[in-house]
Chain A
Amino acid sequence: MSKKILIADDEPNILISLEFLMKREGYEVVVARDGQEALTAIERERPALVLLDVMMPVKTGFDVCHEVRASETLRDTLILMLTAKGRDTDVAKGLALGANAYMTKPFSTRELVQKVREMLGEAA
């Protein structure tokens, strides 16, 4: 059975590519366009991993990450943060709030795929 991945980003221009990429890699893909939508989707779909953008309307990626980690049922969801915020302090904040990994935009899709595989415990 293929693993489910949630992609949360408010920019359609990246959603197209990521959705295509992940589907191509054989994952089942769900998308969300803001923080609140992402939370609902996580609860409903229980994805194995979330690609989470930081700068989103309604709720930021930091908020989503924080709430997921605070929830009894969802806390084991893997989170890979994707963000245009490149400062050390932002990386530190993301990791402190419970993100499993952090990638700064722009990134190469190959690395992204590799990272996702690693996190899901699949050998490259």
Chain B
Amino acid sequence: MSGQKRTDRRLWWLLAAAAVLSIGWLVLTFALVGSTLEPGARAGVAELMGDRWLLISLTWGAGMAAIAWALKRWFDHWVTPSVQLAEEAQVLLRTDVVRELKPKGNVETKVLADLFNQLVGQREELRRLMDEKVQAAAQGIEQEKSRLAALMSELTQSVVVCNLDGRILLYNNRARMQFKALSQAPGVAGGAELIGLGRSIYAVFDRKLVAHALDNIQQRMLRGAAQPSAQFVTSTAAGQLLRVQMAPVRSVQAQMAAAAADRAELSGFVLMLDNITRDFEDESARDQVLHTLTERSRAALANMQAALDMLDYPDIEPAMRERFLGVIRDETRTLGQRIKEVESGSANSLKTRWPLEEMLGSDLVGAAIRRIETMTGLPASPVDVDGALWLKVESFTLMQALVYLAGRLSDEFEIRFVQLRLSPASGSAGKAQLDLMWSGQAMSTETVMSWEMDAMKVGNETLRLTVRDVIERHGGAFWFERDRARHQAFFRFLLPLANPQEQVDFATFVRNESRPEYYDFDLFKTTEQTRSLDDRKLVDLVYTVFDTETTGLNPSDGDEIIQIGATRIVNGKLLRQECFEQLVDPRRPIPAASIPIHGIQPEMVVGQPVIEEVLPAFHAFAQDTVLVAHNAAFDMRFLQIKEKKTGIVFDHPVLDTLLLSAVVHPNQDSHRLEAIAERFNVTIIGRHTAMGDAMVTAEILIKLIPLLAEKGIHTLGQAREAAQQTYYARLKY
């Protein structure tokens, strides 16, 4: 602190008081002295003193100066430090400044300053601990979240979590696959128009059905059920049969609540979906088979038995006897025929079903080779393994059979190595052939038969299973074959292939390396807004950001859309997984001049859906969202010109990033997509593909929203109004 301090006003007051007191004391002294003197003496004294008033004033002044100095010292020592300390402590209290207070002045103040320092230290320590705890907790939550996401994405059951409004806030990959099957435009939107964060589950399920199930759950919770869940089966618009299991999501507060009614308060629900269409069909087929086998056989048996009973009568005429025999022959023949039909028909489902698992064929081969090598010491290798085949197998026993056969080959035929080959079965559909191959001598049918029927021995362990048992479990076949030309012999296993549908599912399922964002728990907090979209905040809205590539600039002159790309923004996050990308057959030539711009060659649109098929899917994809495009007027014109023809009306609210950019940066020359992207430091990948541009536009929108907020533009209505008023908006496209 500098020496030029403002002197405390209290010091001046004290000084003034001292001056007044000392003058009063002087006057009083003179008056008292004067009152004891004779008038003459008084005059003498007055005369005597008269000339020395100056001296008296001087001594008084010197006295006052001494007092002032003493007071000042006293103040500096006792008062000022405490005042300063108070001020500095105020600063420490009111702000987050961390600073050591310098002990000054008297001892007591120094002690106080030290105490303050210690308190500040304590406060900082507490703060630090608190921060650490908060951070640890946040990290924990983040970890739990990602663990949950990992778990979800690996579940083979499809799971969808919704808030009470039916908005999806979590789903897993399996659910995504399942919804793909439910989509009415599977080739175009691929289910992305049905499942997505923030989308309504009621696009798939009847709202009343879900409400009813929720009601059931709530009733059960009120009755005190610990883990209530509800189940319903529903058929979807695409004709699929879904079994849905619903479990409630309760908030923590609700779980802690004492009253049952409070505990029954839900904050959302979990849906677990099973597509039982195929099961149901299997079941029906099985029923059908059972029906024909029982009822119709009963009737046939009755006919035969009655005829036989009649034949028992000894007095029967030969003609009549012949008729009854005819009945028996006839019925036997039809029964035989029926059984043949049943066997060859859809009755695969009737055969005993050992639980078989889907397995990638090459995985099975790889595992079998490792096992053969470790168990028998025989070198084994794969050859011509079709990597795309998915088998439906009981891998454990199948591998035991392979190891057992390889072991016997090695022991009894002194084979030096074996090979495993896998390909689709040439003779029978829906089956794969797995060959255990070796080169060497032939084998007699008796040997093959005994190997097939002997109890398997793997290592020192003899199993109760035979190779035939294993084959029967798979509904497969097993035989020995010889390829003379190549001096090769092999055992062939015919094994069932996994269903094509499941193959696709699993392939995508397994190969999906990255773990996409399929959840957003913040959506739990948002509730259905009854306010109109215009009043809603920009940060809360769901956007469909899209771009189109076209044959030219004039839709009214016959230019057509040849590609649509779109992505979604939910809760301020760009959902890269939930996108829409579709080439469109324009049914007209693509001008050569435009090809360098969009890079779409004429042959690329051959066989693609036409715009009448694509627009409904895109409309569904964009449902309940705000449409966003760069220079939206252009794209919207292409969409709107088709309204009459398709009946699909794009009446969504529209935002234009070009106009919004002009609102935020009115003094910039260029609001081209590249220029804005550069300004916002958005990396451009795949510019001038519809998807690439849509992504860039989406990222720009995300950056624009906070800048708009700085300008006081918070709601959709405000944004649209501001955009309207920009210079660019007045230049009609």
Contacts and interface: CB of A to CB of B under 8 A. Distances in A.
A3 interface: no
B298 A17 contact: no
Given A21-B309, A84-B295, A85-B295, A14 B324 contact: no
Given A13-B307, A13-B330, A85-B295, A106 B302 contact: yes
Contact of B298 (A18, A20, A86): A86
A18 B306 contact: yes
A21 B295 CA distance: 23
B313 interface: yes
A109 interface: yes
A110 B330 CA distance: 23
Contacts of B323: 16
A31 to B, nearest CB: 14
A20 B310 contact: yes
A13 B334 CA distance: 12
B27 interface: no
Contacts of B299: 11, 14, 55, 84, 105
Interface residues of A, number: 21
A6 to B, nearest CB: 17
A24 interface: yes
Interface in B275-334: 294-296, 298-299, 301-307, 309-310, 313, 320, 323-324, 327, 330-331
Contacts of B302: 14, 82, 84, 105-107
A104 interface: yes
A86 B330 CA distance: 23
Interface string A51-73: 00001000000000000000000
A84 B310 CA distance: 20
A80 to B, nearest CB: 14
Given A13-B330, A13-B331, A106-B301, A21 B296 contact: no
B298 A105 contact: yes
A106 B298 contact: yes
Given A11-B303, A13-B303, A14-B303, A21 B298 contact: no
B298 A109 contact: no
A108 interface: yes
A109 B310 contact: yes
Interface string A94-118: 0000000000111111100000000
Contact of A17 (B294, B295, B327): B327
B310 A17 contact: yes
Interface string A1-26: 00000000001011011101100100
B309 A110 contact: yes
A85 B642 CA distance: 59
A95 to B, nearest CB: 19
B307 to A, nearest CB: 5
A104 B294 CA distance: 12
A22 B299 CA distance: 19
Nearest to B298: A84
Nearest to B328: A13
B270 to A, nearest CB: 38
A57 to B, nearest CB: 14
A84 B296 contact: yes
Contacts of A110: 309
Contact of B320 (A20, A85, A109): A20
Contacts of B306: 14, 17-18, 21, 106, 109
A104 B298 CA distance: 8
A85 B309 CA distance: 22
Contact of B313 (A24, A82, A85): A24
B309 A16 contact: no
B295 A108 contact: no
A107 B309 CA distance: 10
A38 to B, nearest CB: 17
A14 B296 CA distance: 13
Contacts of B324: 16-17, 20
Nearest to A103: B302
Given A14-B302, A86-B298, A109 B327 contact: no
A39 B197 CA distance: 65
A91 B539 CA distance: 67
A55 to B, nearest CB: 8
Contacts of A107: 302, 305
A55 B310 CA distance: 23
A13 B295 CA distance: 16
Interface in B122-160: none
A17 B298 CA distance: 16
Nearest to B296: A84
A55 B323 CA distance: 24
Nearest to B304: A106
A10 B421 CA distance: 56
A7 to B, nearest CB: 11
Interface string A70-96: 000000000000101110000000000
Nearest to A105: B302
Given A16-B323, A17-B310, A108 B294 contact: no
The residue in A16, A18, A24, A55 that gathers the most chain B C-beta atoms within 10 A of its C-beta is A16
A17 B294 CA distance: 22
Contacts of A106: 298, 301-302, 304-306
B492 to A, nearest CB: 43
B303 A109 contact: no
Contacts of B305: 106-109
Nearest to A104: B298
B313 A16 contact: no
A87 B566 CA distance: 58
Given A16-B323, A84-B299, A105-B299, A21 B310 contact: yes
Contacts of A85: 295
Contacts of A82: 302
Interface string B489-529: 00000000000000000000000000000000000000000
Nearest to B311: A17
Contacts of A13: 303, 307, 327, 330-331
Interface in B326-375: 327, 330-331
B291 to A, nearest CB: 10
A114 B28 CA distance: 155
B309 A108 contact: yes
Interface string B40-57: 000000000000000000
The residue in B301, B305, B320 that gathers the most chain A C-beta atoms within 10 A of its C-beta is B305
A21 B313 CA distance: 10
A15 to B, nearest CB: 9
Given A105-B302, A106-B301, A107-B302, A17 B307 contact: yes
Nearest to A12: B327
A106 B331 CA distance: 13
Contacts of B301: 105-106
Contacts of B294: 84, 86
Nearest to A20: B310
Given A21-B310, A55-B295, A82-B302, 9 more contacts: A11-B299, A13-B307, A13-B330, A14-B306, A17-B324, A18-B306, A84-B298, A84-B302, A106-B301
Interface of A: 11, 13-14, 16-18, 20-21, 24, 55, 82, 84-86, 104-110
Interface of B: 294-296, 298-299, 301-307, 309-310, 313, 320, 323-324, 327, 330-331
The 3 A-B residue pairs whose C-beta atoms are closest, nearest first, are A105-B302, A17-B306, A84-B298
29 contacts: A11-B303, A13-B307, A14-B303, A14-B306, A16-B327, A17-B306, A17-B307, A17-B310, A17-B324, A17-B327, A20-B324, A21-B306, A55-B295, A84-B294, A84-B295, A84-B302, A85-B295, A86-B294, A104-B298, A105-B299, A106-B298, A106-B301, A106-B304, A107-B302, A107-B305, A108-B309, A109-B305, A109-B309, A109-B310
